[in-house]
């Protein structure tokens, strides 16, 4: 093994390049590899605190190192892999016999390598023969993906390299806070900021919104959940002030005639009434976006996508970009910032309920034939589409629901909406298997916990937010008791008499993935392991035989058969508001009860996702030991809430206890909570899973309704 290994950060989709050196003097002292930033286009040697401290977890004392099986007394005991895998295969077989194939289910994640995600989808379909597989990316990228597929005919988060943004003069940032969620990305916005061209849309004055201070641009602070209307207003100004690119619309799009009447109805003063954003600011922002269209980008994040109208809102953002003539033109564009480390690759190769590898549809007969041939099975033996994550998780243990579940790469007890109900569902299962490297809150409900490898202990590929495939490399040996999922799947497949091959070797699985993806939208067939190792820029689609990949998509044509992008005439579903996301109040009087506020949830720089990794890193924990409720001082005063004092948040689903922090960065009608924490601080105990986006099945993470009240400090200690 070479002394220092070139790899990428384990966490987010920016996939900052790093070097891990287990042999340096520092490594010797600290007991884990030394991390150094590595020059690479996305991060240019920079990283955030999570990346710098990531290697600490390789030596964590809380690492899982042996399979844990729950005994009849309810306690976990270490067992051998042989016993663990026999038991798992036995339980899955029994559940299939008892309830049918769809009685077993798999829940994956966007942190898995391409090879593991691909193999997991294959394992579900032909070893377990179930349609019931979905993954945490449903809570992440599904609205943006659905909108891009619908409008552009292909979903690659950024259809251009991140470095293209370096030359931008104007960037519209819709519900995305990269200053905290991808700090090294912010360097690519510097040029636009210098030109006063950042337009940040966020109900909070986030770290990213603060970049618009001192002439950096403008911050629009809409009522949460009203972005669709705001985007219709911006598009209205573009059309009515003659700023649309008529020639581009004529050559490259369809659907303008259907869109124009929708836009007519949303003049800025009307939009102001719904969104609270002043009409003059809407006009100013629209003109800023149109000032120099060969230098303008429109980017979305979870703030506009994680809503029950998230797909339509993302479509409205694409419409705006198309009206301005941006997508598919060098030096301008539309994109969404993918979140998880392999959020992009993880949504391409078959973890999704309705999908086969290469971004193929599981209901398309030609796709089924192609993939079945690669897998060596009959197309008729492939199950049909399964159910999306919320439905899978809300029917656990129920009639026709999943009875025996394998969670591999998600911590649903923290990350999924209505997490209290999810926990009850897990409890109702006949058997739950959780694979993780740390004992997660979800593992607490498991019957069997299997220890897997961390990023720096495994080999594989990841696809970053710009659609570039990267090599993840092994820098250290794994602890003796841990195994990787490819091996686990190979062992289980054998025990389940599965057809086809389940290789434990990542390079072999990648070769198969290439073949399975060939001819699909996300075509990896031309990308070789050798090219990846040589550091070639491997952007998909890269069909076999093509000399190179596709750093910039859509230059000649969009992904639809006619090569054109579609302007989708999206409109709010009810007057003003898309769908009222507020939960049904228990009692009528709660409707107007004092303290009923809009809850938005999101992220801190120092914590990652469910926190199962970053809560164990000492310096990150010290910086952000828990959740804090961000609340406006005027609202706090009206409710008798002091800065730093405990508050209770309730919704019909559950309650959360946290300290308050008074801040004028948030609107008076809105409060903000991060979702990284466990126990009484679990934000998702409050979040509803009752309504989802009709296209993407995204729940409403960003605009719920909660009641907030001051809490007597004694009430906290219970």
Ligand X SMILES: Nc1nc2c(c(=O)[nH]1)N[C@H]1C(S)=C(S)[C@@H](COP(=O)(O)OP(=O)(O)OC[C@H]3O[C@@H](n4cnc5c(=O)[nH]c(N)nc54)[C@H](O)[C@@H]3O)O[C@H]1N2
Residues that bind Mo ion (CB under 5 A): 140, 339
Count of residues binding ligand SF4 (CB under 6 A)? 14
Shortest distance, position 224 Cβ to ligand SF4, whole Å:
25
Which residue in the block uniquely carries the two structure tokens 């550091």?
A: 535
Q: Which two tokens stand for residue 85?
A: 């895998």
114: alpha, beta or left? (left if phi > 0; alpha if psi -120 to 50): alpha
408's contact among ligand X, Mo ion, ligand SF4, none, with CB below 5 to 8 A by partner kind, is ligand X
Q: Which residues contact 650 (CB under 8 A, 6 or more apart)?
A: 656, 686, 706, 707, 709
Specify the residue, 502 or 675, whose C-beta has the smaller distance to ligand SF4: 675
Nearest to 57 by CA among 104, 89, 11, 5: 11
Between 11 and 437, CB nearer to ligand SF4 = 11
Which residue reads 């910086």 in tokens? 623
Q: Which does 131 bind (CB under 5 to 8 A by kind): ligand SF4, ligand X, Mo ion, none?
A: none
Question: Looking at 32, 38, 50, 231, which residue binds ligand SF4 (CB under 6 A)?
Answer: 50
Q: Does 17 bind ligand SF4 (CB under 6 A)?
A: no
Distance CA 298, CA 208 (A): 15
The answer to whether residues 91 and 390 touch, using CB atoms and an 8 Å cutoff, is: no
- Comparing CB distances to ligand SF4, the nearer of 579 and 623 is 623
- Residue 47 touches ligand SF4, criterion: CB under 6 A: yes
Distance separating alpha carbons of residues 707 and 688, to the nearest angstrom = 14
Q: Name the minimum Å distance from CB 554 to Mo ion.
A: 24
> In whole angstroms, how far apart are CA 439 and each of 15, 40, 387, 426, 616?
25, 33, 27, 16, 11
201 binds, among Mo ion, ligand SF4, ligand X, none (CB under 5 to 8 A by kind): ligand X
Q: Which is nearer to Mo ion, 103 or 303 (CB)?
A: 303
Give 41 or 499: the residue with its C-beta nearer to ligand SF4. Answer: 41
**CA–CA–CA angle 513, 515, 517 (5° rounding):** 65
Q: β-strands 253-254, 565-566: how paired?
A: parallel
Binding residues for ligand X, rule: CB under 6 A, are: 12, 109-112, 136, 139-140, 174-178, 180-182, 201-204, 206, 224-225, 227, 301-304, 306, 339-340, 408-412, 414-415, 435-438, 440, 452, 485, 600-603, 605, 607-610, 612-613, 675, 683-684, 687, 701-703
478: partner contacted, choices ligand SF4, ligand X, Mo ion, none (Cβ within 5-8 A by kind):
none
Rounded to whole angstroms, the Cα distance separating 112 from 344 reads: 11
Q: How far is the CB of 704 from ligand SF4 (least distance, A)?
A: 27
Query: How far is the C-alpha of 174 from the C-alpha of 309, rounded, in Å?
Result: 15
Q: What is the DSSP letter of 527?
A: -
Partner touching 227 among ligand X, Mo ion, ligand SF4, none, CB below 5 to 8 Å by kind: ligand X
Residues 144-203 that bind ligand SF4 (CB under 6 A): 182-184
- Least gap, CB of 190 to ligand SF4 (angstroms): 16
Residue among 326 and 390 whose Cβ is closer to ligand X = 390
Q: Which is nearer to ligand X, 440 or 550 (CB)?
A: 440
Closest CA to 224 of 614, 677, 671: 671
| Minimum distance from residue 135 beta carbon to ligand SF4 (Å) | 20
Maximum Cα–Cα distance across the chain? 73
Choose among 698, 701, 696: nearest CA to 686: 701
Binding site for ligand SF4 (CB under 6 A): 9, 11-12, 14-16, 43, 47-48, 50-51, 182-184
């Amino acid at each position: 093994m070479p002394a220092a290994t070139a790899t990428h950060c384990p966490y987010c989709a920016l996939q900052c390049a790093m070097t891990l050196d287990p042999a340096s003097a520092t490594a010797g002292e600290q007991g884990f590899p030394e991390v150094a930033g590595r020059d690479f286009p996305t991060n240019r040697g920079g990283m955030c605190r999570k990346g710098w401290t990531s290697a600490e977890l390789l030596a964590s004392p809380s690492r899982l190192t042996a399979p844990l099986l729950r005994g009849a007394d309810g306690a976990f005991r270490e067992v051998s892999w042989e016993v663990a895998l026999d038991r798992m295969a036995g339980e899955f077989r029994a559940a299939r016999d008892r309830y049918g194939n769809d009685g077993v289910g798999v829940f994956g994640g966007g942190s898995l390598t391409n090879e593991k995600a691909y193999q997991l989808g294959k394992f579900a379909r032909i070893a377990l023969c179930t349609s019931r597989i979905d993954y945490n990316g449903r809570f992440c990228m599904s609205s943006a993906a659905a909108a891009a597929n619908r409008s552009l005919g292909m979903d690659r988060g950024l259809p251009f390299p991140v470095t293209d943004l370096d030359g931008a003069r104007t960037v519209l940032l819709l519900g995305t806070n990269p200053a905290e969620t991808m700090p090294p990305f912010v360097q690519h916005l510097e040029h636009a900021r210098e030109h006063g061209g950042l337009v940040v849309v966020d109900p909070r004055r986030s770290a990213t919104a603060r970049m618009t201070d001192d002439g950096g641009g403008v911050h629009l602070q809409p009522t949460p959940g009203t972005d669709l209307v705001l985007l219709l207003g911006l598009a209205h100004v573009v059309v009515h002030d003659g700023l649309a690119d008529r020639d581009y619309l004529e050559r490259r799009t369809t659907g303008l005639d259907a869109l124009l009447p929708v836009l007519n109805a949303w003049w800025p003063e009307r939009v102001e009434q719904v969104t609270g954003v002043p009409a003059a600011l809407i006009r100013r922002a629209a003109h800023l976006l149109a000032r120099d269209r060969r230098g303008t980008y429109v980017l979305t994040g979870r703030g506009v996508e994680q809503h029950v109208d998230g797909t339509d809102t993302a479509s409205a953002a694409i419409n705006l970009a198309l009206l301005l003539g941006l997508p598919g033109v060098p030096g301008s564009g539309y994109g969404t910032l993918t979140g998880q480390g392999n959020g992009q690759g993880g949504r391409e190769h078959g973890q999704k309920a309705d999908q086969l590898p290469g971004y193929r549809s599981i209901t398309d007969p030609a796709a089924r034939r192609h993939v079945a041939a690669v897998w060596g099975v009959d197309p008729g033996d492939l199950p049909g589409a399964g159910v999306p994550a919320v439905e899978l998780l809300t029917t656990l243990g129920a009639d026709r629901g999943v009875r025996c579940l394998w969670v591999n790469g998600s911590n649903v007890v923290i990350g999924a909406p209505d997490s209290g109900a999810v926990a009850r569902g897990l409890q109702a299962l006949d058997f739950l298997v959780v694979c993780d490297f740390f004992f997660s809150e979800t593992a607490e409900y498991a019957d069997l916990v299997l220890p897997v490898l961390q990023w720096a202990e495994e080999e594989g590929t990841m696809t970053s937010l710009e659609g570039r495939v990267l090599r993840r490399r092994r820098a250290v040996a794994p602890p003796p008791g841990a195994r990787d999922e490819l091996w686990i799947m190979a062992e289980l497949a054998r025990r389940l008499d599965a057809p086809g091959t389940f290789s434990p070797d990542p390079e072999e699985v990648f070769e198969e993935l290439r073949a399975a993806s060939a001819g699909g939208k996300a075509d990896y067939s031309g990308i070789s392991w050798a090219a990846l190792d040589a550091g070639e820029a491997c952007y998909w689609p890269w069909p076999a035989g093509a000399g190179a990949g596709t750093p910039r998509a859509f230059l000649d044509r969009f992904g639809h058969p006619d090569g054109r992008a579609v302007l989708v005439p999206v409109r709010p579903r009810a007057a003003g508001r898309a769908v009222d996301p507020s939960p049904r109040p228990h009692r009528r009087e709660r409707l107007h009860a004092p303290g009923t506020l809009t809850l938005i949830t999101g992220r801190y720089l120092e914590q990652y996702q469910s926190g199962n990794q970053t809560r164990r890193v000492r310096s990150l924990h010290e910086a952000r030991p828990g959740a804090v409720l961000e609340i406006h001082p005027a609202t706090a005063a009206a409710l008798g809430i002091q800065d730093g004092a405990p508050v209770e948040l309730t919704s019909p689903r559950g309650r959360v206890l946290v300290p308050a922090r008074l801040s004028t960065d948030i609107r008076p009608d809105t409060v903000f909570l991060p979702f990284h924490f466990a126990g009484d601080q679990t934000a998702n105990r409050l979040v509803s899973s009752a309504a989802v986006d009709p296209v993407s099945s995204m729940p409403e993470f960003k605009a719920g309704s909660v009641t907030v009240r001051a809490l007597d400090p004694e009430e906290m200690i219970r």
